[in-house]
Structure 1
């Protein structure tokens, strides 16, 4: 389906139950898409636990862009997308997340959307080679529990354990999680179960 925002249309694929235990909304990295292996692993786990999962291709990607542009505009579009999805899934807990830039969006907007938690995959702590430009504040200011899963070889860095509720590091992985999706699923599963019971 498509959802209109001030930044253009977003494309949303919804999987899972029509009367779910929770709604999980996921989005992609800056130049990526919603078929990334880590996103699919989290989606599969959530559906198996009785959730509904909405994978969002953001408006700038639908329009063919590779850079997300202004964080303010991106967050405004995300809030519109979540508001539309909440009309369809009214009374269940909302969990949001994404990989890389999508994880940043999920953290920045968590309080405004009323999310109960965030799943942050490959959170880009800083631009490659520029650790002084830390984005740890986005994790700390999410206002909800945040589960971070990063590879220990990620050139964007690995958040400190103090920056989130849980920081799980996968050995031998970079930014794109070429392996280890089973480990991602096993880390996320208990959090999805607990959040869905709130």
Structure 2
């Protein structure tokens, strides 16, 4: 089981965010690489890993759908246990991820109170165009601090779609990134870039950690 550790992971101080990838791209995708760099830049170490189906894709080159949730969660638990062991319990360890990876992190947090926090980057609140299939039922069970960074153009959940469902989000904090799609890419006319929105997401993550006492101000 390979872990991709950011530069700050070796600092032996400050929080660590365990990041899971989305359904279609692995831990070394351009988005995940850029996000890890941006988080490092604001003092948040990260660790990335891959789910079994993505590992198998690398071995044989065949695309396959994600594993079922129990297998995804089992891998997440194994990685979390390894990171906690390596950090010796001396640093806050949060979980999160991109899209499906963030959803798995929230499911893991809903089943256990022993989490320092959750940070999701582009949460799949519903499949695109399927407002009858919301993935929010477990969110009120998340007892640790939770943050979702969401683009305002994300087809998996836009502001006007989320408003009627605010009561279903529990204590989840939601920050909107203006113009971002599911990959935080804004339209060209906006003048901002995907890198700008990823940097904004990293800064909001730092602010979130400060508010909850998980990193020094």
The TM-score bracket by the shorter chain reads 0.7 to 0.9
Match of 1:28 in 2: 21
Deviation at 1:45, TM superposition (A): 4.5
TM-aligned CA distance change 1:113 to 1:22, over 3 Å: farther
- The whole-number CA distance in structure 2 between the counterparts of 1:60 and 1:125 is 22
Deviation at 1:127, TM superposition (A): 0.9
TM-score (norm 2): 0.77
Q: How many residues align?
A: 188
Match of 1:177 in 2: 184
In terms of mean alpha carbon deviation, does 183-192 or 70-79 score higher? 183-192
TM-superposition CA deviations, 1:38-81 (whole Å, max 9, x none): 54454335434544321112221111154222111111111111
Counting helix residues as a fraction of each chain, which structure ranks higher? 2
Counting strand residues as a fraction of each chain, which structure ranks higher? 1
Match of 2:156 in 1: 156
Larger Rg: 2
Match of 1:99 in 2: 98
Q: CA RMSD in A?
A: 2.2
TM-aligned CA distance change 1:51 to 1:150, over 3 Å: closer
Deviation at 1:33, TM superposition (A): 2.0
Aligned-partner SS, 1:25: strand
Q: Answer yes or no: is the 8 Å Cα contact 1:45–1:185 preserved in 2.
A: yes
1:1-198 maps to which residues of 2 (within 5 A)? 3=1, 11-15=2-6, 16=8, 17-36=10-29, 39-64=32-57, 65-91=63-89, 92-110=91-109, 112=112, 114-158=114-158, 159-160=162-163, 161-162=166-167, 163=169, 164-178=171-185, 179=194, 180-193=197-210, 194-196=213-215
TM-aligned CA distance change 1:183 to 1:66, over 3 Å: farther
TM-score (norm 1): 0.83
Deviation at 1:165, TM superposition (A): 3.0
- The whole-number CA distance in structure 1 between the counterparts of 2:175 and 2:51 is 27
TM-superposition CA deviations, 1:173-194 (whole Å, max 9, x none): 2111122122212211112333
In terms of mean alpha carbon deviation, does 23-32 or 50-59 score higher? 50-59
Unaligned 5+ runs, structure 2: 58-62, 186-193
- The whole-number CA distance in structure 2 between the counterparts of 1:151 and 1:66 is 27
In terms of mean alpha carbon deviation, does 25-34 or 40-49 score higher? 40-49
TM-aligned CA distance change 1:46 to 1:186, over 3 Å: closer
Q: Answer yes or no: is the 8 Å Cα contact 1:60–1:68 preserved in 2.
A: yes
Match of 1:7 in 2: none
TM-aligned CA distance change 1:38 to 1:146, over 3 Å: farther
